[in-house]
Structure 1
Amino acid sequence: MRKTNQSGAALITAILITAIATIAAVSMASRQHLDIRRTTNVIESSQAYLFALGAEEWGKQMLVRDRQQNQVDHLAEDWATMLPPIDVEGGRIAGQIKDLQGRFNLNNLVTDLPSNPQGNQPASQQPSQLDVDRFQRLLRHLNLDDELVYAIIDWIDKDENVSIPGGAEDFTYLRFDPPYRTPNAMMASVSELLLINGITRDIYAILEPYVTVLPEYTAINVNTASVEILTALSSDWLAGDVDQLIDQRTPDGFQSVASFLASATATGKISGTEGLSVQTNYFIINAGSEFGRGRTSLYSLVVRDDNGKVEVAMRAQGVY
């Protein structure tokens, strides 16, 4: 009887050891499979990112060549043509260049004032009335409250004085949950609008296609500006004027701001040339790429100087 019990115990022990070994082997195999999959994903994602950098370089070279060919930027140029998806070894890339100076630069709303020669009055800031007027016309054209401009001004300017009407400084934001303060500095991303008092996601969705934030004062390129932006340049447009203006600038755009202002449609309706241009320095290159399971969407803010040199000022993945 004792031998039978011992044999049974040995059998159970053997089965248990076999089960444990099997579980360990399966666990090791599963872990190894996951490690291989994880490594593969990292490699494929890295390769997709490198493909996107290649598309970025394509965009930079397009902009360099464009400046070598002429000094005027318009929508009939090669850079404005989307690079369709192209199959490459193991993946695919696509690219698109957009002129950011065809949009309204929100950082234009506040202008710096230098200190006076006597040195008894420090440098300060004030709203740029020309740009405030243009932005308010854009807001009204989009059926948005034009007093939103003052909340944006207070978000950017360095003081704590609330602009009336519609402004908001720290006192307002510190009552939010969670509380936060105004940066009192130039905006770094258009998405900052979502933090500004009075701007909802619905408002942001309407406004976002027509605005940008750039690190310096920039002129609006009248050759690449949309109907909405051109509408914001004047309060004297008649019905159909802006559509006619769009027709007049094709195919090669206005060759100078003077020719734009002298066009039959714009004559006498836009005062001065301040804040207008037919050239662009700031572009966004949107590069999309795939490699295996890896996918990347890369947004590259590039700046082109007067000599045609193009440099990357900022990169963002997924969202710009």
Structure 2
Amino acid sequence: MHRCSGSRQDGSALLLALVAAALAAVLAVGLVERAQRSLARTEALVAAERGWQYARGMDEIAVALLRRARSEGIDPALLDGAWSQPFEVPGGVVQGRLIDQNARFNVNALAHPDGATAAAAQAAFRRLLDALGLDRIIADELADWLDGASVPSPGSAATNWYSRRDPPYRTAGVVLANTSELRWLRSVDHEAWLALAPLVSALPEPELVVNVNTTSPEVLAALLPALEPGQARRVLTDKPFSDLPAFERHPLVAPVMRPDVRRHLTVSSRWYLAQARVVLDEVTRDYFRLMIPEVPGYDGFRYVSQGVP
């Protein structure tokens, strides 16, 4: 009897030892997994901070290039859209480019405080939509979106249409911070957005000023109603123009130039979007910063993205 009782006690002790060992193993695995996750988070934070600092460095280079180009009488438009050579950094590479925002149609011009100026910008935007084969109602929906209209323009989407979406939202009542916000409009689907994206900007000012030396035929024709896109394309083959009078004297421009359009044209750009592409440990991040080179200290940081500007 005593021998059997001792065997049972030995078996219980062995079972308890096995359970304790199993629990210890589970706890150890859990601790290792938590440590690995913590390490991964730390590495991700360090990589993000490194990427941010590299991007800031590219911003400084971009501003320096723009200022140097202007001081030496070089047209900064020559830099538009061209990627720099890759800079090798520990763990990856960094590249940068400048995107001329005055080459594009500033959609926030539809929110100009002067009603007549806003209406003229809306009419020009309709012509741009026509050239792209898009529905004109987009211009009305954008105008309603910018002023937060609860009573929409005829055919446009009302606030209650947006409130019935999933998730629901409202017309903004403020200017766009980024052109991607056009996707919130009822009539801007993916195809419409792809057509508009390379031709529009969203500047933090309501002025519509387009650089004739860097713009597209579609935008130029939208500003000059009597100029067909094909004619605009032929005009732009003769760029660069040294000054605005030289542009206005062009044989195709002179007959259709209007005094009210002149204020919307320029031969130099003020706004640029600096894009820094940082590839660290095979992960690509794009950083975008809106800048005005002649305004020291202007901080126009926009966003970090893995997509397009």
For residue 170 of structure 1, report the CA deviation from its aligned partner. Answer: 3.2
For residue 297 of structure 1, report the CA deviation from its aligned partner. Answer: 1.2
**Greater mean alpha carbon deviation, residues 238-247 or residues 43-52:** 238-247
Structure 2: segments with no counterpart, 5+ residues? none
The SS at the match of 1:128 is helix
The SS at the match of 1:311 is coil
Counterpart of 1:284 in structure 2 is 273
The structure 1 residue matched to 2:198, chosen from 172, 195, 209, is: 209
Residues 180/262 of structure 1: CA separation in 2 closer, same or farther (3 Å cut): same
Asked if the contact 2:121/2:208 (under 8 Å) is kept, the reply is: no
Counterpart of 1:121 in structure 2 is none
Tell me which amino acid in the other structure corresponds to 2:108.
Answer: N
Question: Could you tell me how far apart the structure 1 residues matched to 2:67 and 2:297 are?
Answer: 7
Q: Is it true that 1:45 corresponds to 2:48 in the alignment?
A: yes
Counterpart of 1:102 in structure 2 is 103
CA RMSD across the alignment: 2.6
Counterpart of 1:116 in structure 2 is none
Residues 67/23 of structure 1: CA separation in 2 closer, same or farther (3 Å cut): same
Asked if the contact 1:300/1:315 (under 8 Å) is kept, the reply is: yes
Question: Could you tell me how far apart the structure 2 residues matched to 1:102 and 1:79 are?
Answer: 9
Counterpart of 1:257 in structure 2 is 244
Residues 65/310 of structure 1: CA separation in 2 closer, same or farther (3 Å cut): farther
Tell me which amino acid in the other structure corresponds to 2:214.
Answer: T
For residue 107 of structure 1, report the CA deviation from its aligned partner. Answer: 1.5
**Greater mean alpha carbon deviation, residues 227-236 or residues 207-216:** 227-236
Counterpart of 1:270 in structure 2 is 257
| Equivalent pairs, count | 301
Question: Could you tell me how far apart the structure 1 residues matched to 2:51 and 2:177 are?
Answer: 27
The SS at the match of 2:274 is strand
Asked if the contact 2:135/2:187 (under 8 Å) is kept, the reply is: no
The SS at the match of 1:232 is helix
Question: Could you tell me how far apart the structure 1 residues matched to 2:44 and 2:165 are?
Answer: 40
Counterpart of 2:211 in structure 1 is 221
Q: Percent identity?
A: 26
Asked if the contact 1:97/1:284 (under 8 Å) is kept, the reply is: yes
Asked if the contact 2:218/2:229 (under 8 Å) is kept, the reply is: no
For residue 169 of structure 1, report the CA deviation from its aligned partner. Answer: 4.4
Q: Is it true that 1:311 corresponds to 2:298 in the alignment?
A: yes
Counterpart of 1:118 in structure 2 is none
Higher helix share: 2
The SS at the match of 2:96 is strand
Q: Is it true that 1:81 corresponds to 2:82 in the alignment?
A: yes
Tell me which amino acid in the other structure corresponds to 1:87.
Answer: E
For residue 80 of structure 1, report the CA deviation from its aligned partner. Answer: 4.8
Residues 149/27 of structure 1: CA separation in 2 closer, same or farther (3 Å cut): closer
Counterpart of 1:198 in structure 2 is 187
Question: Could you tell me how far apart the structure 2 residues matched to 1:192 and 1:248 are?
Answer: 35
**Greater mean alpha carbon deviation, residues 134-143 or residues 2-11:** 2-11
The SS at the match of 2:46 is helix
The structure 2 residue matched to 1:18, chosen from 1, 21, 35, is: 21
Counterpart of 2:221 in structure 1 is 231
Counterpart of 1:117 in structure 2 is none
The structure 2 residue matched to 1:242, chosen from 229, 232, 243, is: 232
Counterpart of 1:111 in structure 2 is 112
For residue 258 of structure 1, report the CA deviation from its aligned partner. Answer: 1.1
Tell me which amino acid in the other structure corresponds to 2:21.
Answer: T
Question: Could you tell me how far apart the structure 2 residues matched to 1:60 and 1:223 are?
Answer: 20
Counterpart of 2:58 in structure 1 is 55
Tell me which amino acid in the other structure corresponds to 2:267.
Answer: V
- For normalisation by structure 1, the TM-score amounts to 0.83
Higher strand share: 1
The SS at the match of 2:85 is strand
Poorly superposed stretches of 4+, deviation over 6 Å: none
Residues 280/11 of structure 1: CA separation in 2 closer, same or farther (3 Å cut): same
Larger RCO, structure (CA 8 Å, separation 6 or more): 1
For residue 96 of structure 1, report the CA deviation from its aligned partner. Answer: 1.1
Question: Could you tell me how far apart the structure 1 residues matched to 2:53 and 2:244 are?
Answer: 40
Counterpart of 1:5 in structure 2 is 8
The SS at the match of 1:186 is coil
